[in-house]
């Protein structure tokens, strides 16, 4: 019926627009052009990642062996060598950062999510955590320099503290978000059974929110492992394995930074190999975060 | 029989009963500890401001506001000025924002406006997120050995043929503003893209359906309906991306050339506040440390203001769409 009407109308040459898609119409062409442009930009945007990964595998993979992972950094014209001490140093300092920031962060998040979510303190703390995530990481180094390095000198402990400052807001915000996802019914049921708030938190909220909290922790660890700016003048660098916490300590990122500016091929190859290891560490924690963070409910 | 059962349990007092004194004590202690930890977060920010501010005070008294307008950094004569660094920080971040902003918002459109099937969109989102996971130093290394050699021929050509434009006024002799800004753009792209994706997702689907129902093409819907509706979220994305660019350190310290000068040229070496801190702190004497603390304070104030503006815009957007308080 309607088709007949349309043909009738068309025959009478009434001003009825064509109802078929017209690819050569200016607006359709504009749309097509912009679509092509978007695809191009998206493709261009992913080139750097692939280029970085390619370089890491080709340059870094070529040099990555047991010696590189365990030996001490080579001096100027030496061949061989590795970054074993930097690898250990990075793990130690990220460990210190985690030991400080994870408990404090989770407890702070407990307050923000469960104990007093609408209190003035919680609102301020949330705002502070958000501003701290956007903080330049080097300022964590400057802060630690002011409170620790000036008195005690460069040390692994100072490096760990500066990493803790950076990890704290990430842990807090992620843990709070995870605890908010816990269904109200579950906590209500626990209160109904006569639990104290602490029992509700320890036995219901924290176990239920654990995957989300672990995601935040893993992301914080991944971020801290890749950080270098705060370590520059807190942990400094060292050419030897770490023997105590109060002495200058090597880290992978500072090793890459130092070696990248050296005029020796050996050091530059090692910088690429160290980058590969660093990226692998960061990626492992990122993937863990993803796997753990799959919502259960 | 049944009543016996209940009595037995009640007398054993293991299954139910009011909280014991121990429970009460644990409860108050735990809550006090959680409260302390939340307050610690606020105290941390206050302590950071206090420490850096306090250590910067002598330099502030000595240099006054001349520190911000001065252009020389001479340790031996005690002359410190950070105008070139402020200029370099803002200029490099702005360039990065223009490039990273265009790419980030376009990629957000690409991810949310039905260009890809769900599965491919997820893969592409992972690629963008992985970009955020690559450490700054690794980008620096990549910039030195991949990007700079790649840029040099193009830069030299531009300088040779269009050298009269101030932007191309010098040769790219190695590290410089252009490679630094490009790497910075790559580094803020994931931030901008992620927040922009959120902004687009927040628009109810019926808005787009209404636009399509009026007979718009895909791009008319995007440009005339989606972009204006998401505009405040996109603004937040750009401001927060800018904040991230301002504070980025390592890649810039490796790529920008650490040269204390003010130049419009894209290929000239420059310096930023963060890379000034990174390169001078490790070997600084007591007087220079005070000046560096002052510089850190300047950086802190700039990034703080930018971030607070960004967060405020983001908050405003959330309220607009969700009626949240």
Judged against a pLDDT cut of 60, whether residue A297 lies above it is answered with no
Q: How far apart are the C-alpha atoms of A64 and A66, rounded to whole Å? A: 7
Judged against a pLDDT cut of 80, whether residue A295 lies above it is answered with no
Model confidence at B81, pLDDT cuts 50, 70, 90, reads: confident
pLDDT at B314: 87
User: What are all long-range contacts of B126-130, with beta carbons under 8 Å and residues at least 24 apart?
Assistant: B127/A46, B127/A49, B128/A45, B128/A46, B128/B189, B128/B190, B128/B193, B128/B194, B129/A286, B129/B190, B129/B194, B130/A49, B130/A283, B130/A286
| Nearest Cα residue in chain A from B182 | A48
| Nearest Cα residue in chain A from B41 | A125
Q: What spatial distance separates the first Cα and last Cα of chain A, rounded to whole Å?
A: 52
- Interface membership of B160 toward A (CB under 8 Å): no
Residues B162-184, mean pLDDT to the nearest whole number: 85
Which residues are B73's β-sheet partners? Answer: B80
Q: Which of B90, B87, B89, B96 is nearest to B238 (CA)?
A: B96
pLDDT at A134: 85
B179-194 pLDDT, tens digit per residue, is 999 999 999 999 999 9
Judged against a pLDDT cut of 50, whether residue A27 lies above it is answered with yes
A154-180 pLDDT, tens digit per residue, is 999 999 999 999 999 999 999 999 999
What integer best gives the mean pLDDT of chain B? 87
Model confidence at A294, pLDDT cuts 50, 70, 90, reads: low
Q: What is the 3-state secondary structure (H, E, C) of B62-117?
A: HHCCHHHHCCCEECCCCEECCHHHHHHHHHHHHHHHHHHHHHHHHHHHHHHCCCCC
- Interface membership of B254 toward A (CB under 8 Å): yes
Q: How far apart are the C-alpha atoms of A135 and B57, rounded to whole Å? A: 21
Per mean pLDDT, which range of A121-125, A130-134, B70-74, B147-151 is the poorest? B70-74
| Nearest Cα residue in chain B from A276 | B138
ipTM value for the complex: 0.87
- C-alpha torsion angle, residues A59, A60, A66, A67 (rounded to 10): 70
pLDDT at B164: 82
Percent of chain A with pLDDT over 70: 93
- Are B278 and A41 an interchain contact pair (Cβ–Cβ within 8 Å)? no
Cβ proximity of B238 and A50 under 8 Å: no
Model confidence at A4, pLDDT cuts 50, 70, 90, reads: low
B131-144 pLDDT, tens digit per residue, is 888 999 999 999 99
Model confidence at B320, pLDDT cuts 50, 70, 90, reads: confident
Phi/psi of residue B74, each to 5°?
-125, 105
Residues A53-75, mean pLDDT to the nearest whole number: 90
Judged against a pLDDT cut of 50, whether residue B3 lies above it is answered with no
pLDDT at A9: 53
B263-298 pLDDT, tens digit per residue, is 888 888 889 999 999 988 888 888 888 899 999 999
pLDDT at A10: 53
Model confidence at A296, pLDDT cuts 50, 70, 90, reads: low
pLDDT at B287: 85
CA dist B272 to B103, B136, B316, Å? 23, 15, 31
Q: How far apart are the C-alpha atoms of B60 and B63, rounded to whole Å? A: 5
pLDDT at A16: 65
pLDDT at A265: 87
Give one word for A194, left, alpha or beta, with left for phi > 0 and alpha for psi -120 to 50: left
* CA atoms A249, A255, A258, A263: torsion sign: positive
Per mean pLDDT, which range of A21-25, A112-116, B92-96, B231-235 is the poorest? A21-25
Top pLDDT among A114 and A14 is at A114
Residue B134 structure tokens: 């690559």
Min Cα–Cα distance to chain B from A119, Å? 11
A232-249 pLDDT, tens digit per residue, is 989 989 888 988 888 999
Mutate to test the interface with B, among A18, A23, A124, A135 (most CBs of B within 10 A): A135
- Name the fold adopted by B65-322: MetI-like fold (1.10.3720)
pLDDT at A106: 95
Judged against a pLDDT cut of 80, whether residue A71 lies above it is answered with yes
Mutate to test the interface with A, among B134, B248, B284 (most CBs of A within 10 A): B134
pLDDT at A13: 55
Model confidence at B67, pLDDT cuts 50, 70, 90, reads: confident
Domain ranges of chain B: 17-62, 65-322
Residues A105-117, mean pLDDT to the nearest whole number: 93
Phi/psi of residue A13, each to 5°?
60, 40
Top pLDDT among B12 and A287 is at A287
pLDDT at B116: 86
pLDDT at A3: 53
pLDDT at A170: 93
Judged against a pLDDT cut of 80, whether residue B310 lies above it is answered with yes
Q: What is the DSSP string of A97-164?
A: HHHHHHHHHHHHHHIIIII-TTSHHHHHHHHHHHHHHTS-HHHHHHHHIIIIIHHH-S-HHHHHHHHH
pLDDT at A68: 87
pLDDT at B2: 45
pLDDT at A5: 57
Domains present along chain A, CATH in parentheses: 92-251 (1.10.3720.10)
Mutate to test the interface with B, among A52, A103, A223 (most CBs of B within 10 A): A52
The number of C-alpha atoms within 13 Å of B83 and in the hemisphere containing its C-beta is: 12
Phi/psi of residue A247, each to 5°?
-125, 160
- Are B243 and A134 an interchain contact pair (Cβ–Cβ within 8 Å)? yes
Which residues are B79's β-sheet partners? Answer: B74
- Are B274 and A115 an interchain contact pair (Cβ–Cβ within 8 Å)? no
Q: Which of B250, B111, B303 is nearest to B192 (CA)?
A: B111
Q: How far apart are the C-alpha atoms of B249 and A228, rounded to whole Å? A: 9
* Closest Cβ opposite residue B136 in set A121, A168, A228: A228
CA dist A32 to A24, A35, A39, Å? 10, 5, 11
pLDDT at B325: 42
Q: How far apart are the C-alpha atoms of B13 and B27, rounded to whole Å? A: 20
- Interface membership of B103 toward A (CB under 8 Å): yes
Judged against a pLDDT cut of 80, whether residue A102 lies above it is answered with yes
pLDDT at A104: 96
Q: How far apart are the C-alpha atoms of A273 and A63, rounded to whole Å? A: 6
Count of A–B CB contacts within 8 Å? 257
Chain B residue numbers touching A268 (CB-CB < 8 A): 145
């Amino acid at each position: 019926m309607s088709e007949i009407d349309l043909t009738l109308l068309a025959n009478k040459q009434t001003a009825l627009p064509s109802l078929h898609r017209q690819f050569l119409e200016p607006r359709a062409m504009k749309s097509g052009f912009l679509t092509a442009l978007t695809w191009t930009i998206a493709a261009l945007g992913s080139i750097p990642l692939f280029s970085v990964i390619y370089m890491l595998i080709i340059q870094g993979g070529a040099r990555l062996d047991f010696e590189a992972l365990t030996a001490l950094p080579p001096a100027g014209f030496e061949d061989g060598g590795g970054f074993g001490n930097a690898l250990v140093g990075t793990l130690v300092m990220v460990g210190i950062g985690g030991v400080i920031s994870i408990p404090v962060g989770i407890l702070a998040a407990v307050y923000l999510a469960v104990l007093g979510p609408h209190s003035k303190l919680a609102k301020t703390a949330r705002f502070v955590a958000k501003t701290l995530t956007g903080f330049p990481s080097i300022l964590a180094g400057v802060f630690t320099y002011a409170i620790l390095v000036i008195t005690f000198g460069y040390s692994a402990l100072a490096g760990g503290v500066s990493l803790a400052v950076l990890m704290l807001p990430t842990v807090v915000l992620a843990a709070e978000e995870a605890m908010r996802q816990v269904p109200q019914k579950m906590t209500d049921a626990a209160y109904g059974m006569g639990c104290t708030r602490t029992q509700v938190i320890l036995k219901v909220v924290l176990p239920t929110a654990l995957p989300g909290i672990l995601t935040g922790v893993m992301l914080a660890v991944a971020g801290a492992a890749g950080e270098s700016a705060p370590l520059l003048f807190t942990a400094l660098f060292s050419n030897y394995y770490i023997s105590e916490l109060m002495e200058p300590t090597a880290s992978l990122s500072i090793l890459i930074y130092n070696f990248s500016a050296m005029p020796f091929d050996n050091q530059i190859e090692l910088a690429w190999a160290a980058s590969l290891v660093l990226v692998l560490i960061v990626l492992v924690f990122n993937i863990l975060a993803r796997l753990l963070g799959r919502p259960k409910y | 029989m049944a009543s016996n059962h209940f009595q037995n349990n009640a007398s054993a007092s293991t299954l139910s009963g009011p909280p014991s004194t121990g429970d009460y004590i644990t409860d108050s202690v735990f809550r006090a500890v959680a409260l302390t930890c939340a307050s610690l977060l606020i105290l941390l920010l206050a302590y950071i401001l206090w420490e850096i501010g306090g250590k910067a005070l002598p330099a502030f008294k000595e240099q006054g506001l001349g520190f911000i307008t001065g252009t020389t950094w001479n340790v031996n004569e005690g002359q410190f000025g950070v105008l070139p660094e402020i200029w370099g920080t803002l200029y490099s971040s702005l360039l990065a924002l223009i490039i990273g902003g265009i790419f980030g918002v376009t990629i957000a459109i690409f991810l949310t406006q039905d260009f890809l099937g769900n599965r491919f969109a997820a893969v592409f989102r992972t690629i963008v997120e992985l970009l955020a996971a690559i450490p700054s130093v690794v980008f620096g290394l990549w910039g030195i050995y991949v990007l700079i050699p790649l840029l040099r021929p193009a830069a030299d050509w531009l300088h040779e043929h269009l050298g009269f434009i101030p932007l191309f006024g010098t040769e790219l002799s190695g590290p410089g503003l252009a490679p630094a800004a490009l790497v910075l753009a790559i580094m803020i792209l994931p931030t901008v893209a992620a927040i922009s994706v959120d902004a687009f997702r927040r628009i109810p689907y019926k808005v787009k359906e209404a636009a399509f129902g009026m007979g718009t093409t895909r791009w008319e819907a995007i440009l005339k309906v989606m972009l204006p509706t998401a505009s405040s979220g996109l603004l937040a994305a750009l401001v927060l991306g800018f904040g991230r660019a301002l504070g980025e350190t390592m890649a810039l310290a490796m790529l920008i050339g650490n040269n204390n000068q003010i130049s419009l040229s894209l290929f000239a070496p420059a310096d930023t506040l963060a890379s000034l801190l990174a390169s001078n702190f490790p070997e600084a004497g007591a007087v220079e440390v005070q000046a560096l603390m002052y510089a850190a304070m300047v950086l802190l104030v700039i990034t703080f203001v930018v971030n607070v503006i960004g967060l405020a815009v983001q908050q405003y957007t959330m309220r607009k769409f969700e009626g949240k308080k």
